[in-house]
Amino acid sequence: ERVNRTLKPLIAIYAQQQPTSWDKEIQKIAYAIRTAVNETTGETPAFMMFGRDPRGPLDLLIGERTEDAQLNTDEHGQIQEYKKNLINNLRYAYNIVKEHAEIEKLKQKGKYDRHTTDRRYTEGDLVWVAIPTKQIGENSIAGKLQPHYQGPCRLIKQLTPSTFTVLRINDNVQLGATNTDRLKPYCEPIINKRNTTVTENDQTTNERQRTTTNINDESMDDDLNLQNVKENNPSTCDAPPQRR
């Protein structure tokens, strides 16, 4: 898979320049990969396979001093010596590659740990589950605008320290074994009881104010009615009571 990641961009470049004959250049691309120094091993794949680097077109252009092969009776001994040197070179190369691979492994682990958090989950927790990028692209052309997490989901069973069986709550679909790297904690909505109490108190206060206002309005109406009666019948209202 890692080779395909390197191979695809090279094929894409050839396909843009030669859309009808790019497949004929596959051997050239393969030769370029085999003679390129690998970042992890620090050596070319050809050297790791054959114990030597092959001669390329540049070597042919620069030229090399050639000597006529001199055959002698000790040809078998030369072959054995060549095999011995080849084995020694391969062992030396493998040791260098092993050390280089360990260093690269630590570097890659450090890069990976930068984007991870040490979260602990237990069975029954509510979480968000990351949606794979390919699945987002299949659902819509504008995949970047689609949600990248689905949920809420519940952790049903713990398979390993970092793997859980996940159930999507809204449709009861099991999402299978999921690594904790793809999970995010789900926080349930919290109802603010204090705000609710304040709102209820405000409503009660408003009702009391409305009741008081109605009582005051009724008192004012009674006073107005009494005033009207006095104005219409001044003799009756203002006359003092008669003594017997």
> Which is nearest to 58 in space by CA: 39, 40, 84, 32?
32
Parse the chain into domains and list their residue ranges. Answer: 2-55+81-114, 126-185
Asked which of 36-45, 108-117, 220-229 is least confident by mean pLDDT, the reply is: 220-229
**What are the tens digits of pLDDT across the range 51-96?**
777 877 777 766 554 444 454 556 667 767 876 787 788 788 888 8
User: Residue 221 burial (CB < 10 Å; 0-12/13-18/19+)?
Assistant: exposed
pLDDT of residue 204: 53
Q: How much is the average pLDDT of 42-47?
A: 80
pLDDT of residue 48: 76
In one letter, which amino acid is 93?
A
* Alpha carbon distance 216, 222 (integer Å): 10
Asked which of 97-106, 113-122, 158-167, 195-204 is least confident by mean pLDDT, the reply is: 195-204
Q: Is it the case that residue 227 has pLDDT exceeding 70? A: no
pLDDT of residue 163: 92
CATH code for the structural domain at 126-185: 2.30.30
Bigger pLDDT: 22 vs 231: 22
- Residue 165 confidence class, pLDDT cut points 50, 70, 90: very high
* Alpha carbon distance 129, 186 (integer Å): 10
Q: How much is the average pLDDT of 161-176?
A: 91
